[in-house]
Structure 1
Amino acid sequence: MKYLIAATFTLASTAIAAPTTVQAQEACGTYRVQIGDSLAEISQQAYGFDNHRSIWRENRSEIGRDPNVIRVGSVLKLPCLDGSLPSDQKEASLKDTDTPSVSFVTANGYLPYTDESLDERGLMTNLVKTAMMRGAPEKAFDIVFVNDRAAHVESLLPRQAFDASFPWTRPGCETQGELTSLELYACQNFVYSKPFYEIVDGFFSRTGAGYENVVDFAAFEGAIVCRPEGYSTGHLEENGLMPPAIKLIQPASAHECFERLMRNSVDLVALDTRTGERVMADLNLTYQVSENPHLFSIQSMQVALHRNNPASADIIADLNRGLAAMLETGEWASIVSNGLRDQTNMELVN
């Protein structure tokens, strides 16, 4: 999806078995999960409509954080239509305080922005968490990692299994005549917070190599381009810079890209400006490497919510209020600086 910031980084998908015919069951009882079941199918059979989120909330101790994965043989409590539980199941239910009032979903693999291996689970994760704490301190919330990012917008948000997903880029919805069908889908079905962060993806080359002043992406065709593993290649795709037009090298770190650049084994490093400048300083390459000032791509990182979610306006207001407070106090700048430094330090260690 073009409007997805990290559309091209590799993610481990969460497998969901194709639903089979769920055995008849009724609300206000229990149900033992069969092979091929999904919460949506169970909900439809029990209630005649999609009430899967209520089932998930009442069974989180059994299901866990991911409503897409239910274990065969699990016995699920099916809430009554009035929201209560079967009388013999009430003691086993989760208390309301255990259920987050706002649920966010993101994914691993987009360094340094969202990944459970990073401090604070990534720079963007930390920004969203802090915005909620500053903008709505009275609200409980949870941030869950589900690595099938396409499922976020195709099923999890539309079905309100989660309230919000990040990071996404809002398309230019004001110019609908120029949008692709996928971008139009995003505009019609989702609403977005204000941008939490903007990525300026640029191109770095050895000073004097001839790439630093070109003004057309076509001049990069035939080049060997280095982009660290796990980083989005969306801006390369958008500008026609994917194999076979170029040769793409993806080592483990940004540092290795610049080291290869200085060994003449690659022609260009494609990297966001902040990270590139930091790595250049670490390796004392400030005067040996130049960034092309003409060719770059800007992408914003926002939180997306489905339009049909009745809480979407309130959640966006909470996030935007918290973001404004962070910008005013300098907390935003501190989180960004620390997040980028932590990623650089991790690369140096590795």
Structure 2
Amino acid sequence: MLGLLPSVALAICDVEYVAQPGDNLFSIAETHYGDRERWTMIYYRNQDVLAGSSVVPGRKLQIPCVKQASEPDATPLRRRGAEMTLLTGGGYAPFTDRGLPGQGMVTELVNAALELAPSPVSYAINWEDDWSKHLFPMLDQKEFDMGFPWLKPDCAAEPDNERCANFHFSDPVMALPIMLFVRQDNQFAFAEDSDIEGKTLCRPKGYFTHDLNRAGRGWLDDGKITLVQPQSPADCFRMVSERQVDAVAVNLFLGASSIVREGLRDTVLPLEKPLSEEGLHVVISKRHWRGTSHLYRINAGLKKLRHSGRFEDIMSRHLELFWAQLQ
């Protein structure tokens, strides 16, 4: 599991595929790449025609070829003493880290968006590895203009959430599929929300829970599930491997890395249907005097990034690196 297979070299790719009843991204990846783990290539290439993260029969999907890792895009507007300053941190692979190619997939996407934005300005990216300092006090006190990447709470349901009350969020830089990771010998059907009722899920302490309690779901408020919150992802994966919980509910990248790190390749796998989809955003203080113009710039750049095809190119490069490193 979670590795490169020789059959990838013989992939049926750079073709158009019409989704059939019963298809999912895992099965389509198995057919075209010979490797179900390559479903993320199809997911990020076709987000405009997917229903969230589900395949709709009859819709045409582009099947991209797996690209070899290449050098990250140049960043000519990035320099010291710049007009705009951004804040991020390390230790958040594959999204941001100074040791990653392009300093991570989100860093490279933000770079590209700012360069494609209307009336581009010079910018600098600053690093603080203590993430607890980013929102408060650094961004709240406007030590830096914007920060990334941040998950957005359900601000409609929780307007008093400190992130919602104090920060504006950009459009999503990228989407994160939130997966259910289960024992291979204890898979359960997840086609509808009702299939989760009565289950015991594990998600580490301090992680968001709004997707479990959103409108129409209410799993926590209505006591429809049991949520266990140990200290770390490793604790959750140990618990699912020892049958103490039914599933671990975390994002695809964290889950895949944890499976490899904990030696659970032959024990734990993700279910095919994601539990939810969360965005990673750029944030700016609501009290920032240039908040509107900076948000417009990043959002316009993100839109152009997708229309230009560079989004898929950057994601393909980083996804290939991610899966290769796990092997």
Letter in 1 for 2:234: I
Secondary structure in 1 aligned to 2:303?
helix
Residue of structure 2 in register with 1:219 after alignment: 199
- Structure 2: give runs of 5+ residues left out of the alignment: 1-78, 213-219, 221-225, 260-264
State the shift of 1:103 in Å. Answer: 0.5
Say if 2:172 is the partner of 1:195: yes
TM-score with structure 2 length normalisation? 0.57
Higher Cα Rg, which structure: 1
Range moving further from structure 2, 333-342 or 135-144: 135-144
Residues 156-175 of structure 1: matches in 2 within 5 Å?
156-173=138-155, 175=156
Counterpart pick for 1:112 among 91, 94, 110: 94
Instruction: Sort the Cα spacing of 1:301 and 1:243 in 2 relative to 1 into closer, same or farther, 3 A.
Output: closer
TM-score with structure 1 length normalisation? 0.53
Q: Distance in 2 between matches of 1:104 and 1:274?
A: 24
State the shift of 1:343 in Å. Answer: 1.9
Q: Distance in 2 between matches of 1:330 and 1:237?
A: 30
Q: Distance in 1 between matches of 2:141 and 2:165?
A: 16
Residue of structure 1 in register with 2:134 after alignment: 152
- Structure 1: give runs of 5+ residues left out of the alignment: 1-96, 252-256
Residue of structure 1 in register with 2:108 after alignment: 126
State the shift of 1:117 in Å. Answer: 1.9
Q: Distance in 2 between matches of 1:313 and 1:138?
A: 15
Q: Distance in 2 between matches of 1:247 and 1:219?
A: 20
Say if 2:300 is the partner of 1:315: no
Say if 2:277 is the partner of 1:272: no
- Is the 8 Å Cα contact of residues 100 and 142 (structure 1) preserved in structure 2? yes
- Is the 8 Å Cα contact of residues 187 and 271 (structure 2) preserved in structure 1? no
Q: Distance in 1 between matches of 2:101 and 2:134?
A: 23
Alignment root-mean-square deviation, CA: 4.1
How many residues align? The count is 228
Alpha-carbon displacement from aligned partner over 1:202-255 (angstroms, at most 9, x marks no partner): 11335552434482264235xxx799xxxx8545996654356x996369xxxx
State the shift of 1:144 in Å. Answer: 1.2
State the shift of 1:122 in Å. Answer: 0.9
Residues 71-150 of structure 1: matches in 2 within 5 Å?
98-136=80-118, 138-150=120-132
Alpha-carbon displacement from aligned partner over 1:113-161 (angstroms, at most 9, x marks no partner): 1112211111111111111111157411111111222322211122221
Residue of structure 1 in register with 2:228 after alignment: 242
Q: Distance in 1 between matches of 2:314 and 2:234?
A: 30
Q: Distance in 2 between matches of 1:189 and 1:332?
A: 29
- Is the 8 Å Cα contact of residues 199 and 272 (structure 1) preserved in structure 2? yes
